[in-house]
Amino acid sequence: LYSQVAVHAEYGGVVPELASRDHVRKLLPLISQVLNEQALTPADIDGVAYTAGPGLIGALMVGASVGRSLAYAWDVPAIGVHHMEGHLLAPMLEANPPEFPFVALLVSGGHTQLIAVQGIGQYEILGESVDDAAGEAFDKAAKMLDLDYPGGPEIARLAERGNPQRFQFPRPMTDRPGLDFSFSGLKTYTLNTIAEHRGNDVLPDDQTMADIAWAFQEAVVDTLAIKCRRALEQTGLKKLIIAGGVSANSRLREKLSASLAKVGGNVFYARHEFCTDNGAMIAYAGCRRLMAGQREGLSIRALPRWPMDTLPPLSEL
């Protein structure tokens, strides 16, 4: 229905104040539009789910205030949903959803995590980024190459013309045990490579730019695939779900499928429109918790930081 990408594109990233103001301007008209298009009235609504965190506090407060207020006015329960739990459960919206247990790779602009999932709310963090998330690295590399925001799709498009043989970028933290990630060094390596090949110009020639984009994307994708394979071997699980904006990357899907097939693993993911932030995943996550009996008071929840492994399991509700 609506995306804020155009609002933030000229700044090369999300501007918190603009995000909050756009939420204020758009939320109620969008809710009315959805109800009208589906021929629904407030009497048809059984509950309200809103994103409670983690994230930018201003935008969270707007969504939480509207969600909680509508629930009160409509006399239905409201529930604050963990943003990354929404991403994790997005593949459940597909026709053939994965069954528990599985390993989840959550990979977005703000998060890169490997999680062992036994059920909804039963999460064990296996590894996560110690600095930049993969999506953030894509955006920053795109900015170095003077590409548009969001950077992930732009890097992927440019990489299609790249020469796979020209550059070999490092695969960070794959030369040691563990499942944590680090992409800050790769970002610096990319910046230095651009500087070495730009000559007297601000940027290298078009082919060199494409070659760098290929090498960067391949390094990120390889790193994620290596760690995912290790996670399956470490846990003994055979199913992997990938979710979050970066999970839409076709090269990542290709690499993961090939890598995990070697160890008998299967990969599940959401369709592209459910990879980036969307309302459907939040509605589904909230629905599952409301159906299990989870209830909250009248206070508004907005949490800029919210560890995912603190969420209550459905079995304990």
CA dist 248 and 271 (Å) reads 8
CA dist 313 and 311 (Å) reads 6
pLDDT in tens, 75-113: 999 999 999 999 999 999 999 999 999 999 999 988 999
Residues 44, 182, single domain; the answer is no
Which residue from 243, 275, 241 is spatially nearest to 260, judged by alpha carbons? 241
pLDDT in tens, 35-45: 999 999 999 99
Residues 120, 186, single domain; the answer is yes
- Position 51 scores a pLDDT of 98
Q: Which residues of 191-229 are buried (b: 16+ CB within 10 A; e: fewer)?
A: eebbeebeeeeeebeeebbbbbbbbbbbbbbbbbbbbbb
Q: Is residue 130 part of a domain?
A: yes
pTM of the model: 0.94
Residues 190, 281, single domain; the answer is no
Neighbours of 312 (CB within 10 A): 13
Which residue from 109, 156, 114 is spatially nearest to 137, judged by alpha carbons? 109
Q: 48 near 76, Cβ under 8 Å?
A: yes
Q: Is residue 93 part of a domain?
A: no
pLDDT in tens, 129-143: 999 999 999 999 999
Q: Which residue has the tokens 């969307």?
A: 278
Give the strand pairing for 239-243 and 102-107.
parallel
Decide which of 269, 285, 306 is a domain's last residue. 269
Angle, in degrees to the nearest 10, between helices 206-235 and 151-159: 110
Number of domains within the chain: 2
Q: Which domain holds residue 39?
A: 5-87+276-316
Q: Is residue 143 part of a domain?
A: yes
105's CB contacts (< 8 A; 6+ apart) are 112, 113, 114, 224, 227, 228, 231, 240, 241, 242, 243, 247
- Position 109 scores a pLDDT of 86
pLDDT in tens, 271-287: 999 999 999 999 999 99
Decide which of 250, 269, 288 is a domain's last residue. 269
Which residue from 225, 217, 220, 227 is spatially nearest to 258, judged by alpha carbons? 225
Q: Is residue 124 part of a domain?
A: yes
CA dist 149 and 140 (Å) reads 9
Residue 317 — very low, low, confident or very high, per pLDDT cuts 50/70/90? confident
Q: Is residue 161 part of a domain?
A: yes
- Position 25 scores a pLDDT of 97
Residue 214 — very low, low, confident or very high, per pLDDT cuts 50/70/90? very high
Residues 169, 116, single domain; the answer is yes
Q: What is the mean pLDDT of residues 202-206?
A: 88
- Position 287 scores a pLDDT of 98
- Position 202 scores a pLDDT of 78
Residues 112, 37, single domain; the answer is no
Residues 111, 26, single domain; the answer is no
Q: Is residue 148 part of a domain?
A: yes
Q: Is residue 92 part of a domain?
A: no
- Position 242 scores a pLDDT of 98
- Position 316 scores a pLDDT of 85
Token output for 29: 């008209």
Residues 151, 29, single domain; the answer is no
Residues 177, 305, single domain; the answer is no
Q: 261 near 233, Cβ under 8 Å?
A: no
Residues 126, 67, single domain; the answer is no
- Position 53 scores a pLDDT of 97
Q: Is residue 186 part of a domain?
A: yes
pLDDT in tens, 16-26: 999 999 999 99
Q: Is the pLDDT of residue 199 over 80?
A: no
Residues 235, 262, single domain; the answer is yes
Residues 28, 119, single domain; the answer is no
174: domain CATH number is: 3.30.420.40
Percent of the chain with pLDDT over 70: 100
pLDDT in tens, 173-196: 999 999 999 999 999 999 999 999
Residues 81, 145, single domain; the answer is no
- Position 12 scores a pLDDT of 86
